[in-house]
Amino acid sequence: MSRSVTAATTPSEGTPVLEVMDLEVRFRVPSPDNPWRRADLRAVDRVSLRVHQAQTLGLVGESGSGKTTVGRAVLQLVRTSGGSICFEGVDLAGADRAAHRHLRRYAQMIFQDPYSSLNPRMKVGDIVREPLDIHRVGDRTAKQRRVSELIELVGLPGNAVHRYPHEFSGGQRQRIAIARALVLKPSLVVCDEPVAALDVSIRAQILELFKELQRDVGVAYLFIAHGLDVVQYMADRTAVMYLGKILEEGPSDVLFAAPKHPYTQALISAIPVADPDAVRHRTVLEGEIPSPVDVPTGCRFHTRCRFVQTRCASMEPLLEPTRDGVSVACHFWREIETGQDPNCTSSNVP
């Protein structure tokens, strides 16, 4: 399979690099009422998403929303309970060992903590070369050349290959992790909050590095993040998760300019603004995210929503496409978008 990217290819064309349909991930955990009994923890509940070549899909939500579990499920690091995951057109559910080896080689992951994701006993050159050794790619000379290319590509000094991770700063360690993830020329990289542990000044450099690498090699990113400011900068499309479900998804520029779901509106209102004189209308969410062991009926978000109506507690809204390419799961998004109070409309009858 060719790994090249042509100038005529755009992120929206052709078969998606990754297509997830109705993904479910459940874990058996001790019941909160009786630790001797087991309960289902619904970490991911019927999630669907697509990522195209040279495209970044941002996946955001509060801690416990299930976004990291989605990323791990995509790479088959956790067992799925339902749905399908197609990587480069191949459904992994019924795939043979060759297809899974293909996934291991051409889909990589960058973890959140650059301090614990690198083996402290290995030199940087060995860390970056290890995927080539595992997949038996190239001879010794070709491996050394490829490692040197990646070290230079991510902006590290050439002598870094002879040094250990503890000799580098957090930002430099994350560059090492990026080099390791890209050494096999993957078509997809799952980035699990890759800048969360970095200082703000270093964070901007790493994000710009991600963009440069995508322009150079055409890699697709599933970019998982807690902060919407990071996703707004990085992602072509954004999906907002809450308690195992996607509540809103669409082009990032449209979604951030005019969020339709009350949860998305609250998250975006919390994005810091550099101008101290700017007038902010902050929407503060009350309460905590419910337990995924005992999810609310109807809309998952209704226990914290300021627009909640009777229907919200009894009927689950489905993702509904809108005229501007965004899909939203809310019974009253039309009223909210036009500034109407759902309490004053006739559509709130359950």
103 in the same domain as 216 = yes
* pLDDT (mean) for 287-291: 83
Please identify, among 224, 249, 274, the residue that sits at the C-terminal boundary of a domain.
249
User: Distance between CA 64 and CA 81 in Å, rounded?
Assistant: 18
Top pLDDT among 152 and 200 is at 152
Question: What pTM, to 2 d.p., does this model score?
Answer: 0.89
User: For the purposes of burial, counting CB atoms within 10 Å of the CB of 158, is it exposed (0-12), middle (13-18) or buried (19 or more)?
Assistant: exposed
CB 255 within 8 A of CB 324: no
**Domain boundary residue, one of 249, 282, 315:** 249
Same domain, 263 and 343: yes
Give residue 118's domain range. 18-249
| Domain closes at, from 219, 249, 279 | 249
Residues linked to residue 239 through DSSP beta bridges, in sequence order? 59, 249
Q: Of 184-198, 262-276, 296-310, which range is least confident?
A: 262-276
Q: Are residues 45 and 148 in the same domain?
A: yes
Instruction: Report if residue 12 sits inside a domain.
Output: no
Task: Transcribe 279-302 into DSSP letters.
Answer: -----PPPS-PPPTTSPPSSSTTT
On whether both 236 and 277 belong to a single domain, the answer is no
CA angle centred on 244, ends 288 and 256, rounded to 5°: 80
Between CA 303 and CA 7 the distance in angstroms is 48
207 token code pair? 């994000």
What are 321-341's pLDDT values in tens digits? 999 999 999 999 998 887 776
Asked if 309 and 346 touch (Cβ cutoff 8 Å), the reply is no
Is 292 within a domain? yes
- Per-residue pLDDT of 219-233, as tens digits, reads 999 999 988 889 999
At 162-175, the pLDDT tens digits run 999 999 999 999 99
Does the pLDDT at position 85 exceed 80?
yes
Residues 129, 262: Cα–Cα separation, whole Å: 46
pLDDT exceeds cutoff 70 at 349: no
One domain for residues 176 and 42: yes
Co-location of 135 and 280 in the same domain:
no
Mean pLDDT across the stretch 275-284? Answer: 68
Residue 10 is assigned to a structural domain of this protein: no
What CATH number is attached to the domain comprising 221?
Answer: 3.40.50.300
